Structure 1
Amino acid sequence: MTAKNYSKTVKKPSDPVVVLVHGAGAGLDSGFLVAAKAGFEARGLTVIGVEFDYMIQARAAGKRRPPPAVAGLVVELREVVEALGKPVVIVGKSMGGRIASMLAASDGMPANVLAVSVLGYPFHPTSKPHQLRVQHFEQIQVPLMIFQGSRDPFGRAAEIQPLFAASSWPGTIELHWLESGDHDFQPTRRSGKSREDLLDEALDATVTWMQQRLAERLGR
């Protein structure tokens, strides 16, 4: 697998870096992830962008390709994270976040993964709310934060809030709702907000959450 490194120089070997992983249909050059990367760097974080092989091949061929089986993508992400050899927080968009959460729940989770954040979790396929993708949540071994638009067709607030309330998932799994946002954090006009506002809200909350959780994990 090829890892694309857009990062600044890491100041200290112990500083965690953000590993940014794309969703199913768009790579790191999507407007959403370009903005997310710039936002994280503006907040003082080092960002390493990762693309899966199928996305790299699709770009080379000039034709979209569906992602392969998720188990293979978990292996790809594991190989990249292990090769980095630095403490990391994985931030995934949609499918990328699902893969990162599955890696965090696996027996072979790399020791350098400190936490996972998801920008729009695909809780279920659209229009199929009973086909949930949360079976691995009980096994997640690191803090997990999910940022979810309340109108997200892959998991609306009305569907997911009861799911969290009834679950026996670890207390280190958290959910932050972005009011009126969809899967790409686009809010309604009536909300008076923009997608940039909701993305900024998510990035600010991510940084605060990282500081709190990593301080606990690293004993700082």
Structure 2
Amino acid sequence: MTEKICFQAEASHQDPDVILVHGAGAGLESDFLVAARVGFEARGVTVTGVEFHYMAQSRASGKRRPPPPVKRLVEELGDVVRVMEKPVVIVGKSMGGRVASMLALPGMAPANLSGVIVLGYPFHPPGKEHTLRVEHFDRISVPLMILQGSRDPFGKQAEITALFGERHWPDEIELLWLDSGDHDFQPAKRSGKTRESLLDEALDAAVTWLQHRRLGSV
């Protein structure tokens, strides 16, 4: 089920279709994703929200449902992208970003998928640093940017740097750390930062990345 988010910004024929995909437990109307959508709007980016079927069922029933196996979500997201006429950039929050990254593999990626941006990648379950969800990274075939809080329990900067310090990241992947941010970019109080400032930093970087990668005229 795809929900069109209507913003004031008008897309040109050169712009990619940017779709926003939610995480496992919170949908498109979460505070984080509403703020992200408003932030993209302020930067002239038109966004379409994509809601997985299980989340639509949960919202309709008022009862929380767990997501289905990730393979099914990859197929569902692929079906959404393939029917879109223009090049598509997926912006995924947490699980939505993981699903998008798995769609970006050879043999899986729709021809019109031109990029993926992840807002908080779930590198591993909290407290299980060695249960990594990166086995597919070496095969990602489209540009991918990860925006990650440095103290995100799903992948802190110190542990990810230690695990991947000797690893060569594929050229398609860029990783930007947001100092002191957690999984929702909420900083520690002692940092003097705010979630709004970290989200602004993330969205500015995302739009710059789109421009540098020439994925659209945003």
The question of a shared fold, defined as TM-score above 0.5 by the shorter chain, is answered with yes
Shift of 1:150: 0.7
Shift of 1:10: 5.5
Distance 2:141 2:205 in 1: 21
Distance 2:163 2:210 in 1: 24
- Name the CA distance, whole Å, in 2 between partners of 1:100 and 1:205: 19
SS at 1:134 equivalent: coil
**Farther-moved stretch of structure 1 (46-55 vs 154-163):** 154-163
In structure 1, distance between residues paired with 2:36 and 2:11: 21
**Which residue in 1 is equivalent to 2:23?**
23
| Offset at residue 84 of structure 1 (A) | 1.4
Q: Residues of 1 paired with 2:188 and 2:168: CA distance?
A: 33
Query: 2:149 maps to which residue?
Result: 149
Given the two structures, how large is their TM-score scaled by the length of structure 1?
A: 0.94
- Give 1:47's aligned residue: 47
User: Counterpart amino acid of 2:201?
Assistant: E
Uncovered stretches (5+) of structure 1, i.e. residues with no partner: none
Separation in 1, partners of 2:72, 2:110: 16
Aligned to 1:158: 158
State the match for 2:3 in structure 1: 4
SS class of match (1:109): coil
Question: Following the alignment from structure 1 to structure 2, what is the Cα–Cα distance between the partners of residues 168 and 151?
Answer: 22
1:29-54 CA-to-partner distances (Å, cap 9, x unmatched) read 00000000010011001101001000
Partner SS for 1:214? coil
Counterparts of 1:79 and 1:163, CA distance in 2: 34
1:75 equivalent in alignment to 2:70: no
3-state SS, counterpart of residue 115 of structure 1: strand
- Given the alignment of the two structures, is residue 92 of structure 1 paired with residue 92 of structure 2, yes or no? yes
User: Does structure 2 conserve the Cα–Cα contact (< 8 Å) formed by 1:91 and 1:117?
Assistant: yes
The structural deviation recorded for 1:162 is: 2.8
Give a deviation string over 1:47-70, Cα, whole Å, max 9, x none.
010010000000011011110000
Task: Check 1:47–1:163 CA distance in 2 against 1; reply closer, same or farther (3 A cut).
Answer: same
The equivalent residue for 2:110 is 110
Q: Aligned equivalents of 1:11 and 1:154: distance in 2? A: 34
2:13 — aligned with what? 13
Partner of 1:134: 134
Instruction: Point out where structure 2 has 5 or more consecutive residues left out of the alignment.
Output: none
Query: Would the aligned equivalents of 1:14 and 1:87 in 2 still touch at CA under 8 Å?
Result: no
How far 1:206 sits from its partner (Å)?
0.3
Larger % of helix: which? Answer: 1
SS of the equivalent of 1:73 reads helix
1:21/1:51 contact within 8 Å kept: yes
Alignment of 1:36 with 2:36, yes or no, is: yes
